Amino acid sequence: MEKEPARHIALARNEYLVAINGVRMRVLLNSDGVATVNGVRHAYDLHESPEGGTSLIMDGSVFEVAVLARKRQRADQDGIPDASERIAVSVNGTDFEAAVDDRHSLLVKSLMKTTAHDARSITVRAPMPGLIVRIEVEAGQAISAGQGLLVLEAMKMENEIRALQAGRVKEIFVQSGRAVEKDERLMLIDAE
């Protein structure tokens, strides 16, 4: 099922495609207390608590669970908004970020054209929120793998962002002294 293109999957109204850490699961909510996940039927007992956390008892095993805030939708590499719902769930203290599709979001996806993607162009993104301390390269400059590109300060630590492979700096989106968000675009590199 995993290789089947999303647009060819026919989902029931109460059926969902859930992707967690790269694993895709097909979840059918049969009734309140029974779900079929990838064809396996699971009986569960869930009593939601006003305080957020609660326990899911599935096939006799207890999982302490909480649905966290809905994540804002993330633009993919090419700037096309992702129609999947991003939902974070805490299970036994571990956060799972799930991308959830229902029949409607799959339809939206199948209608959206995908722009051709230039594999040779690499976007360097901020690995964490922080402050740009200095930029160590210039637009147009040739760079080698491992070379320092810029220095990002967060919580009083300076972190040097380095090139993963050789290439040339195509564009720099930030300036020294600017605060950046996690995943914000910093540079565009033309890979060699």
Partner 1 sequence: MPHRPIKRILIANRGEIAVRIIRACRELGITAVAVYSDVDRSALHVRRANQAVALGGATSGESYLNKTKLLEAARKARVDAVHPGYGFLSENADFAEAVEHAGFKFIGPPPSAIRTLGDKTEARKRARELGVPTVPGTVEPLVDAGQAFDVAGAVGYPVLLKAAAGGGGRGMRIVNSEDEMPSAFATAHSEALNAFGDGRLYLEKLIENPRHVEVQVLADSHGSVLHLGERECSVQRRHQKVVEESPSPIIDEAMRAQMGDAAVTLARSAGYVNAGTVEFIVDAKKNFYFLEVNTRLQVEHPVTELVTGIDLVAEQIRIAGGGRLEQRQAEIRQRGHAIECRVYAEDPANRFLPSTGTLERYVLPEGPRVRVDNGYRQGDMVNLYYDPLLAKVVTWGRTRKESIAAMKRSLAEFHIGGVRSTIPFCQFVLSHGRFLKGDYDTGFVAMYFAPEALYREGNRAQVAAAIMAARAKARMTGVAPGDDATFTTQRSREWKKNRHATLR
Query: Is 51 an interacting residue with respect to partner 1 (CB under 8 A)?
Result: yes
Closer to partner 1 by Cβ: residue 120 or 182: 182
- Residue 151 bridge partners (DSSP): 134, 160
Q: Is 111 in the site for partner 1 (CB under 8 A)?
A: no
Among 23, 111, 116, 119, the residue binding partner 1 under the rule CB under 8 A is 23
The Cα 28–Cα 15 span in angstroms is 4
> How far is C-alpha 98 from the chain's CA centre?
8
**Is 57 a binder of partner 1 (CB under 8 A)?**
yes
Residues of this chain, 135-154, that bind partner 1 according to CB under 8 A = 148, 153-154
Kindly identify the residues of this chain, within the stretch 82-101, that bind partner 1 according to CB under 8 A. Answer: 85, 87-96, 98, 100
Strands 142-143 and 167-172: antiparallel
Between 57 and 75, whose beta carbon lies closer to partner 1? 57
Contacts with partner 1, 159-188, as mask; x by CB under 8 A: xx---------------------x------
The nearer residue to partner 1, 79 or 177, going by C-beta atoms, is: 177
Should residue 190 be labelled a site residue for partner 1 when binding is judged by CB under 8 A?
Answer: no
Instruction: For residue 59, report the phi and psi dihedrals to the nearest 5 degrees.
Output: 50, 35
- Indicate the length of the chain as a whole number: 192
Find out whether 108 and 92 touch, Cβ atoms under 8 Å.
no
Examine residue 192 and tell whether it contacts partner 1 (CB under 8 A): no
Task: Examine residue 44 and tell whether it contacts partner 1 (CB under 8 A).
Answer: yes
Letter string b/e over residues 56-71, b meaning 16 or more CB atoms within 10 A of that residue's CB = bebeeeeeebbeeeee
Q: DSSP alpha helices (H): ranges in the chain?
A: 103-111
Across-strand partners of 46?
56
CB of 120 to partner 1, least distance (A): 25
Least CB distance to partner 1 at residue 99 (A): 9
